Amino acid sequence: MGLPVPIECLQEIFEHLQNDLKSLYTILFVNKLWCINAIPILYRNPFILLNETLFTTHNHKDAFEIYGDKILLLLENYLKYLTQEQKLEWEEKGIKLPEIIEPSLFDYLSFLRILPLPELQHSILLWSNKIIEVRNNRKFIELEMNKLFLTKCKNINTLMIDESSELPELVNNSLPNFYNLNFICSKLLEISKLEKIIPHCDKIKVLSILRFGKRTSIENRFTIPKLINKPKALEKFYWESVKDYDELSISKSLEKHINSLTHIEIYTYFSCHIISIISKCKNLKTLRFAKSFLNNIPQFINDDDVGFDKFIDITPFTYPKITFPNLQELFFGGIPTNFYHFEILLKNTNHSLKKLGLGWSNSIDSLNLYCENLNFLNLKLSFHDFDKFFQVSELPKFLTKLVFNSKDSPDLYQRADRNINEFLIHLSNILPKKIKFIHLGLFYKNYSIDSLKTFLLNCQTNLEFPLELILPFDTCSIIEERNHIVQNFTKLKVLTENSWILFLYFCLNDCKNCSTCHGGLLNNEEDNPIEPFKEIILIKHCSCWKNHIECLVSNLYQDQDSEVNNYEIEMDDGFIYT
């Protein structure tokens, strides 16, 4: 019998699965020890996890038919905490509460760390679509549930609200002091909602204010600076502005936090006031200017996007004594009004940068000068950038992860002076030997079989590690031939097994009708980097894995020795490579 897994290792593994609802539920039934260690993670943020599964079903009635039991079980875990007086009030309104046959094994309220009021509202909405008494008293139930969580869950550190959130009357000292406030609003017209929250925000470390729409009242525009000013020391600030919004009051409120801020993300519009205040934040570790944030990935601003600042003036970053010695991540989703200013910004990081996202090629040559410790580079290039890219002789030597996307349609590649095949071969010649991960977006799908072979042969010669490669493909091309190449270079351990699994999955047209994943990973319009192979977990839960992929993967290494030793690749030039 093997040695038991240490509890610390179990907890680390379960933490890694915190967003994988299906796996966490499975873990509960392994044994008592696993259950005890998985429950706190599962119930740390249960409403978002559950509603993410519900969002795949657009009809509320159908969603309840499929997931209704899970919704009721989740709500029942918390309804048990209602006082006897509250239960009588519910029953007077005709709402029948479940009978408590035996006490709960766990204190579920103590596990809750993240309270997303919009997600809780969605769960109640689905419940109300099934039971008329709940439907008639939905607002009452929302207020009562919100009051229960806000007053009884002393371990909540993150509160998410929007314009539809129902906030109860709050009594001083009845709420936890929130450390994180995610405030998402598009047209918050009731100033009282914000005013209720502000007194409890002394200890806030993270403040997120998104979709702050033009229809927001003038009073609320004065209230937002009060909210920013209330915490003693903000560490992370997320702000999405609107066009022509006067951000002077916002920047003045942020002045208080310039020594404590380590993470700033600005979306949509980038005013001189905000840029100026950022230049004073010398302890920044993460700075992002982006169109939006989708699936945990900041988005570049494209030329055809409307309602966004495409150009960003970072002149304040070039002033004397402005430095960012601790900056480790920079995402620049727009275009600097002056490329030289951007190079000064890189220089002022003093080689501290480890992650960089940029949407042009002019500054790539500066990376070896000012970013020698860079290990992740996200490039979104146009075919107009190819000439500059072909002048790059080497990439930073510690680079391990590289992502290429494009602002252009894949069909435009022929308009470039240099085509995708030349790009792929040139890329293989300048890759640092420590590279482990490359994602090529859809723009790069029109490569030839020979250029793919050359790319992988150069990788075999130059790289220290097997490469995790996300490879686009043209659906009009011969997939079997490409699959043969990917499979054989996987056998040679030039590519990782995950690279081939993903390639197989993307090739499967049958998966579009899969009842498990609904072809969710097959969106050909999606050009975001897959973050790194979390999708493998999803694929292995999918019926496509059992029906199409597993048998191929299991046979991959059966006759590896004989095949690899005799494996040869013949190129069009007549040479044979072994």
| Angle of CA points 413, 418, 420, to nearest 5° | 50
Give phi and psi for 454, each to the nearest 5. Answer: -65, -45
Q: How many residues does the chain have?
A: 578
The answer to whether the CB of 137 falls within 8 A of the CB of 182 is: no
Q: Is residue 563 part of a domain?
A: yes
Same domain, 382 and 332: no
- Of 376-380, 490-494, 532-536, 543-547, which gets the smallest average pLDDT? 532-536
Residue appearing with tokens 């200890």: 203
- In whole angstroms, what is the distance from residue 306 CA to residue 315 CA? 24
Higher pLDDT, 540 or 24: 24
150 burial via Cβ count (<10 Å: 0-12, 13-18, 19+): buried
- Please compute the mean of the pLDDT values over residues 443-454 and round it to a whole number: 86
- Of 40-44, 79-83, 516-520, which gets the smallest average pLDDT? 516-520
Same domain, 393 and 523: yes
Write down the mean pLDDT value for the chain: 78
CA distances, 151 to each of 109, 148, 332, 574 (Å): 11, 6, 41, 76
Q: pLDDT tens digits, residue range 196-223? A: 778 878 888 888 887 665 555 555 667 8
Same domain, 229 and 203: yes
Give phi and psi for 161, each to the nearest 5. Answer: -135, 160
CB burial of 280-297 (b: ≥16 within 10 Å; e: otherwise) equals bbeebbbbbbbbbbeeeb
User: What is the structure's pLDDT at 182?
Assistant: 65
pLDDT at residue 428 above 70?
A: yes
- Please compute the mean of the pLDDT values over residues 116-120 and round it to a whole number: 83
Same domain, 458 and 401: yes
Same domain, 532 and 555: yes
Q: Is residue 235 part of a domain?
A: yes
Same domain, 308 and 187: yes
- Please compute the mean of the pLDDT values over residues 90-116 and round it to a whole number: 81
539 burial via Cβ count (<10 Å: 0-12, 13-18, 19+): buried
Q: What is the domain extent for residue 284? A: 177-371
Residue appearing with tokens 């001189």: 272
pTM: 0.79
SS3 string, 133-167, reads: HHHHCHHHHHHHHHHHHHHHCCCCCEEEECCCCCC
- Please compute the mean of the pLDDT values over residues 217-240 and round it to a whole number: 82
Same domain, 201 and 291: yes
Higher pLDDT, 92 or 454: 454
Coil, helix or strand at residue 413: helix
Q: Which of 371, 394, 422 is the last residue of a domain?
A: 371
- Of 346-350, 397-401, 536-540, which gets the smallest average pLDDT? 536-540
User: What is the structure's pLDDT at 562?
Assistant: 47
Count Cβ atoms below 10 Å from residue 566 Cβ, excluding itself. Answer: 8
- Of 132-136, 327-331, 531-535, which gets the smallest average pLDDT? 531-535
Nearest to 212 by CA among 197, 201, 222: 222
Q: Is residue 156 part of a domain?
A: no
- In whole angstroms, what is the distance from residue 339 CA to residue 204 CA? 36
User: What is the structure's pLDDT at 478?
Assistant: 63
Nearest to 384 by CA among 356, 406, 357: 406
Q: pLDDT tens digits, residue range 277-332? A: 999 999 999 999 998 876 567 888 887 788 888 899 999 999 999 999 999 999 99
Q: Is residue 11 part of a domain?
A: no
User: What is the structure's pLDDT at 578?
Assistant: 40
Q: Is residue 133 part of a domain?
A: no
User: What is the structure's pLDDT at 564?
Assistant: 44
Same domain, 281 and 310: yes
Same domain, 380 and 346: no
Same domain, 436 and 326: no
- Please compute the mean of the pLDDT values over residues 570-575 and round it to a whole number: 40
The answer to whether the CB of 316 falls within 8 A of the CB of 324 is: no
pLDDT at residue 238 above 50?
A: yes
User: What is the structure's pLDDT at 413?
Assistant: 52
Same domain, 310 and 357: yes
- 554's tokens: 């299991």
User: What is the structure's pLDDT at 174?
Assistant: 59
Q: Which of 371, 389, 408 is the last residue of a domain?
A: 371
Q: Which of 371, 400, 422 is the last residue of a domain?
A: 371
Same domain, 365 and 392: no
Q: pLDDT tens digits, residue range 139-178? A: 888 888 888 888 888 778 778 887 777 777 665 555 665 6
- 32's tokens: 């008592």
SS3 string, 366-407, reads: HHHHHCCCCCEEEEEECHHHHHHHCCCCCCCCCCCEEEEEEC
Total of domains in the chain: 2
pLDDT class of 101 with cuts at 50, 70, 90: low
